[in-house]
Chain A
Amino acid sequence: MAVLGSGARILLAAAILVSLSTRAEPVIVVHPSCPVSRLSPDEARRLLLGADLSWSNGDAAQLVEIRGDDAVVAAGYQAIARKTPSQVRSEWNRLVFAGRANPPLRFGTAAEVRAAVGRLPGAFAVIDSSASNPSVKIVFRAPGAD
C-alpha cells in the first residue's frame, strides 16, 4: 500500500465504495400499512412460495414481480426460498390454478414494481434495496444473496 500514491489510494477507496454500493441486496418490501415490520427467514420463504396468503390485518398477500428475468430477483428468490424464479412461478401457477390465490402482478421495471407495492395494501415484492424508497417498507433482507 505504501507504494501507492495518495491519488491511487483515493481511486482505490472510491472503487471499493462504488463496488459496495452497487452490490445487489435483495429485500422484501411491503405496503407501508402491512402489520409486519420484520419477517423471519421461514416466514419470508412461506410468503414467497404462497404458503401464507394473507396478512394478520386481513389483507391478501399479493406478490408483485418484474416481468421477465432479473438478476436481483433471481438472487433474492434463491436466497429466500432456494428456488429459481421459474420454480417460484410454478408454485404460484399451482395456487392460481387451484383458485387459492390471484396471479402475481407483473410490471416492466423495478420502479413500477415498487410503485405497485406502495399503492396496493397487501402487496409485496423482492427488489434491490437500492430501489427501495419511503413509499414501501423493507421487512426482510436476503442473507448472502450476492
Chain B
Amino acid sequence: MHIRLGLIAALVISPAVAAMDMGDMLELHFGADVEAGKRFGDSATPSEFNLGIIDTMIHGRLSRDFSALAEIVYEDAGGGFGFDVERLMLSYEPRAWFRLSVGRFHTPLGYWNTAFHHARWMYASTRAPLLAHFEDDQGPLPTHTIGVLVHGAVPAGGVRLEYDVAVGNGRGPTADPPQQFADNNGHKSVCAALHVGIGGLRAGVSGLIDTATLASGENMSEKLAVADVHLILGEVEAIAEGALIHHETSGVGATNLGGYVQLAYGLSEDLHLYGRAERFVRAATETYLDTPTASNVLGGIRYELVPTAALKVEGGWDRRSGVDAMTVRGQLSWLF
C-alpha cells in the first residue's frame, strides 16, 4: 500500500519537480482582431465594423517531455459572444521524431490548418481561404479532430521529413460541430500526412478516411486528399493547396474540389504585399457540406505596427453561390 501511495505521489510530484529547472512553466498568449469592411454589389451586406475573434492560448510545460495546450476562442455566436475550446492537448515529446498528443487538435490536413490557427494575426491576409475555413464557417474540411495525434520530424541530411498520423471521432451527423463528447458510430477517422522540407521549401500530401452516420441513419463515407506546397525564397512566401473531398451516401457520390494560391512579398521587415486566388467547386450531388461553389481573388498590404500587431488593408472580387461582389476590408490584429 505504501509502495502504491509512494508511486502515486511520485507520479504527481515528479512533473512539478522536473519543471523546476525549466524556467517559466506557463505561457499565456492573447490574440484578437477588429475589422471594417464594405461589400459592393451585395445589397444584403451593409458596410460594417466588427469584432473578430478573441483567442486565448495557454501553454503549460509540465516537465521536459510533457506539455499541455489549451486554446479558447470567443467569437460571434448570433450577435453575442460564444466560446469554443478549439484545442485542448496533452503532449508527450521525448524526441523531435515522436510527439504523442491526446485531446482536440487541428487535423493535420494540408498546410494552412496546421500552420495557422484561429488568431488572424497569423495570416498574411485578413481571412483564411475558404478551403481552410473552420467547420462552423462553411469550411469543407474537418479542421478539428478529437482523438490521438502522432507527429514527428526527422532530419536526414539536408532534407527534413515530417509525418503525422491521427485517429479520432471523425464527422458527426452534420459537418459542424465536431464530435467532442462522443462518437455516434464505431468508425474512427484516420488521417495521415507526409511532408518533405528542403531549405525554404516544404511540400507534402495528406489524406483522411472516415464514415459518418447521418441523422437519417445512413452511413456516409468520406475520403479526402490534400496536396500542399509552402515556399520561402528571399522575401517571397508562396502557399498553394489543393483538395479533393469525396462523399458517398447510399451509392450516390459527390466529389468536391478546392484550391488556392497565395503569394506574399516583403517590401521591408514591416511591410508586405500579398495576393490570393481561390476556387472551390461544390458537387451538384453534395448534401453534407454547406460550402458553396465560390471563386475569389484578393490583394492587400500588411503593415506591422509592432512585431505583435498588424494592420491589413485588402480588396478583392468574389463570387459565392452565383453572387458577384467587390470587397474592401481593413483589419487590425494582434497576438502576443
Contacts and interface: CB of A to CB of B under 8 A. Distances in A.
B153 to A, nearest CB: 5
B95 interface: yes
A103 B200 CA distance: 22
Contact of B97 (A51, A54, A106): A54
Interface string A117-130: 00110100000000
Contact of B29 (A56, A96, A122): A96
Interface string B306-327: 1110000000000000000000
Nearest to A103: B27
Contact of A89 (B57, B115, B307): B307
Which bucket holds chain B's interface residue count? 35 or more
B96 A53 contact: yes
Contacts of B101: 99
Given A58-B97, A99-B89, A99-B106, 16 more contacts: A51-B200, A54-B155, A58-B154, A61-B96, A82-B269, A84-B307, A93-B29, A96-B27, A97-B57, A97-B119, A98-B115, A99-B69, A99-B105, A99-B114, A99-B117, A106-B23
28 contacts: A52-B155, A52-B160, A53-B96, A54-B97, A55-B96, A58-B96, A59-B95, A60-B95, A67-B24, A87-B307, A93-B29, A93-B335, A93-B336, A96-B29, A96-B59, A97-B57, A97-B119, A97-B335, A98-B115, A99-B87, A99-B117, A102-B59, A102-B61, A102-B93, A103-B59, A105-B24, A106-B23, A119-B21
Contacts of B69: 99
B194 to A, nearest CB: 16
B122 interface: yes
Contacts of B83: none
Interface of A: 51-56, 58-61, 64, 67, 82-84, 86-87, 89-90, 93-94, 96-100, 102-103, 105-107, 116, 119-120, 122
Nearest to A115: B21
B7 interface: no
Contacts of B67: 102
Contacts of A98: 114-117, 122
Interface in B129-177: 153-155, 160
A94 B67 CA distance: 17
Contact of B122 (A83, A86, A97): A97
Given A98-B115, A105-B24, A116-B23, A86 B308 contact: yes
B127 interface: no
Closest 10 CB pairs of A and B: A54-B96, A105-B23, A90-B307, A60-B96, A86-B307, A58-B95, A87-B307, A103-B27, A106-B23, A56-B155
B13 interface: no
Given A103-B27, A119-B21, A97 B95 contact: no
Contacts of B307: 84, 86-87, 89-90
- In terms of DSSP, what is the predominant structure of the interface of chain A? loop
A84 B306 CA distance: 11
Nearest to A104: B23
Interface in B11-42: 21-24, 27, 29, 31
Contacts of A54: 96-97, 153, 155
A93 B308 contact: yes
A105 B155 contact: no
Contacts of A100: 114-115
A58 B29 CA distance: 28
B93 A60 contact: yes
A54 to B, nearest CB: 3
A23 to B, nearest CB: 27
A87 B269 contact: yes
Contacts of B31: 97
A97 B117 contact: yes
